Amino acid sequence: DAGVIQSPRHEVTEMGQEVTLRCKPISGHDYLFWYRQTMMRGLELLIYFNNNVPIDDSGMPEDRFSAKMPNASFSTLKIQPSEPRDSAVYFCASSNPGTPRDEQFFGPGTRLTVL
């Protein structure tokens, strides 16, 4: 199994630009999570999906952030417009079907730098 796949691994953009982060969960996992990690705030859950449906987006910082999961094998996290304070490492994770409290498998992350 290839594990959780994220792209791009690194993204450098200028303030005001749109940024799209991509995630492919492990096949068969029906929970998908987006996290943000910064030195100041640690690891924060932004949103999670169950069977492609957003369940809890209370961690999404503001309307500039949006996430979609059009099918079981793909999710996007979009920031529009981006700001320097959005610079962070964004992780996608997925978990086993039927056992959401079980292990979450993390992708390698996307390091976003907004200039």
Partner 1 sequence: AQSVTQLGSHVSVSEGALVLLRCNYSSSVPPYLFWYVQYPNQGLQLLLKYTSAATLVKGINGFEAEFKKSETSFHLTKPSAHMSDAAEYFCAVTASGGYQKVTFGTGTKLQVIP
Any contact of residue 56 with partner 1 (CB under 8 A)? yes
C-alpha 78/C-alpha 90 separation (Å) is 11
As measured in angstroms, the least distance from the Cβ of 81 to partner 1 is: 27
Identify which range of 14-22, 65-73, 77-85, 95-103 contacts partner 1 by CB under 8 A: 95-103
Any contact of residue 70 with partner 1 (CB under 8 A)? no
Any contact of residue 42 with partner 1 (CB under 8 A)? yes
For residue 71, give Cα distances in angstroms to 43, 81, 86, 114.
26, 25, 26, 29
Only one residue has tokens 């996307």, namely 110
Closest CA to 57 of 79, 34, 38: 34
Name the residues that contact partner 1, by CB under 8 A.
4, 42-43, 45, 48, 56, 91, 93, 100-109
